[in-house]
Amino acid sequence: MEEIRQQQQQSSSFMVIHDALIVTMDAQNRVFRNGAVAVRGDTIVALGQSQDIISQFSSLSPQLLNLHGHFLLPGLINTHVHTSQQLARGIADDVDLLTWLHHRIWPYESNMTEEDSYISTLLCGIELIHSGVTCFAEAGGQHVSGMARAVELLGIRACLTQSVMDEGEGLPASWAKRTAEDCIQSQRDLHKKHHNAGDGRIRIWFGLRQIMNSSESLLTQTRDAAKELNTGIHMHVAEILYENQLVVERNGVDHGTVTYLDKIKLLQNNLLAAHTVWVNEHEVGLLSRAGVKVSHCPAAAMRMLGFAPIKEMINAGVCVSLGTDGAPSNNRMSMVDEMYLASLINKGREVFGKGTTDPTALPAETILEMATINGAKSVLWDKEIGSIEVGKKADMIVVNPSSWSMMPVHDCISSLVYCMRTENITSLMCNGRWIMVDKKILTLNEVEVVEMAKRASADVLKRAGIQIPTRMNFV
């Protein structure tokens, strides 16, 4: 939009965005049909009806941005994405999870350099921004410093996590020699170096790749270190049935990962549990009582994991958010797609489980909560982001519904979940700064990043010695 471009070129840090349909996602679920929001620096300072807000600040001569016919939403929050896997898109399609890990992804990741991770995160960030993401939770990679450098350039927020493992089958040689103490110290060093970098947009969390590759010492030391540093823990939890079976045999609990994590007191309100598919009713109760947050990744779940009891979790009071997972397990880093899929597959799961349909399962307003305010709660950032409210950071996206994909709009909330596409998201602001305007990212050159990614991905694949099977008959 021309108004946004002009605003970006001016020096004033005070603006009033008005004449928009504003979906606040606040505790009252307020929607302003003709709303305005005032932004000073990186913070929202006023919100209300357009005429009232413009009048309130007219004496201060703010920059005025008219969004007539557009929607204004909080930035979407992707709570589970492997940014370092973006260069591996398409190398592990149509294989089971253990083949995916041991013969494709781990060889790939273990041959990446910090520069590769930097380029991969840039490429992933471009796709995230275009799909309306202003904040993401990194699910775990090897070169957090490369990720941090990319996030600083991209201009969005991130909770960055190192992928750590200290035992188990299939680990590359360079990873297998790590001890629990090595894993904890490296993460402490990263926290000291990068936490609150990028004008406060970067936070460093502790990571646990999965239970099958974590000793009890690593688990408990991670629990204690995260508590000491007042940060979060990101972990893949109960992904596949085999995982639960292994935990029962190895640790003597009666069900699986969640039961065992409760036993060692790792289930706490700073744990972000990704996927969490293979849990029973008792374990759902454990998650709820401990305040554990769950990242639901519907595309990845359908692909190789199974149907998580999302409706049961929400009914039990578990905070459930949305994630895309990484490119090799989804191929699309679009939160817009995940919102659409989350509602549909959880409606479909009702048929599979009960033999009858329930079109009311996970309605549109619930999905929007998962993608915004629940995402903020999941990354422990809800006091500052996740909704459009006075005092919160100015992280917002502009949606243009005037396209064949969304028109006509009879129910704006329904349309945002079931009709909106990535192409409808035109502009994105993070921390009070326009990062994308008219679908053009302002912080970097997208074409240059794509070219860098082509070269880097081919080099990593060659170093890893991964052969992609040929499909069909190429001549």
- pLDDT tens for 299-339 read 999 888 888 999 999 999 999 999 999 999 999 999 999 99
pLDDT at res. 412: 97
Mean pLDDT, residues 257-262: 98
Q: Residue 246: which residues within 8 A CB-CB, separation 6 or more?
A: 211, 212
Please determine, for residue 169, whether its predicted confidence score (pLDDT) is greater than 90. no
What does the angle CA 233 – CA 239 – CA 243 come to, to the nearest 5 degrees? Answer: 100
Distance set, CA 299 to CA 105, 159, 314, 326 (Å):
18, 22, 19, 10
- What is the share, in percent, of the chain residues with pLDDT greater than 70? 97
* Contact present, 203 and 160 (Cβ < 8 Å): yes
Tell me what the pLDDT averaged over the chain comes to. 94
Please determine, for residue 5, whether its predicted confidence score (pLDDT) is greater than 80. no
Mean pLDDT, residues 392-397: 98
Mean pLDDT, residues 162-170: 91
Please determine, for residue 215, whether its predicted confidence score (pLDDT) is greater than 80. yes
Helices (H), 331-411: 335-354, 364-371, 373-378
How is the beta sheet containing 133-138 ordered, strand by strand? 76-81, 133-138, 157-161, 202-208, 233-237, 271-275, 293-296, 319-322
Please determine, for residue 4, whether its predicted confidence score (pLDDT) is greater than 70. no
Please determine, for residue 354, whether its predicted confidence score (pLDDT) is greater than 50. yes
Interval 421-445: pLDDT, tens: 999 999 999 999 999 999 999 999 9
Q: What are the phi and psi torsion angles at 370 (to 5°)?
A: -60, -35
Give the range among 203-212, 230-239, 335-344, 465-474 with minimum mean pLDDT: 465-474
Confidence of residue 117 (pLDDT cuts 50, 70, 90): very high
Phi/psi region, residue 29 (left: phi>0; alpha: psi -120 to 50; beta: rest), is left
Please determine, for residue 11, whether its predicted confidence score (pLDDT) is greater than 50. no
Please determine, for residue 261, whether its predicted confidence score (pLDDT) is greater than 90. yes
* Contact present, 453 and 119 (Cβ < 8 Å): yes
- What is the share, in percent, of the chain residues with pLDDT greater than 90? 87
* Contact present, 104 and 111 (Cβ < 8 Å): no
Q: Tokens 């602001």 correspond to what residue?
A: 429
Q: Record the tokens describing residue 429, joined without a space.
A: 């602001």
pLDDT at res. 173: 85
For β-strands 319-322 and 43-49, DSSP reports them as unpaired
Give the range among 137-151, 178-192, 238-252, 341-355 with minimum mean pLDDT: 341-355
pLDDT at res. 355: 81
Confidence of residue 1 (pLDDT cuts 50, 70, 90): low
> Please, is 43 exposed, middle or buried when counting C-beta atoms within 10 Å of its C-beta (0-12, 13-18, 19+)?
middle
Please determine, for residue 352, whether its predicted confidence score (pLDDT) is greater than 90. no
pLDDT at res. 6: 58
pLDDT at res. 3: 62
pLDDT at res. 97: 73
pLDDT at res. 176: 87
pLDDT at res. 391: 98
Say how far apart CA 247 and CA 210 lie, in whole Å: 11
pTM of this structure: 0.96
Give the range among 65-79, 267-281, 338-352 with minimum mean pLDDT: 338-352
Please determine, for residue 76, whether its predicted confidence score (pLDDT) is greater than 80. yes
Return the top range by mean pLDDT from 5-14, 93-102, 300-309, 438-447: 438-447
pLDDT at res. 358: 85
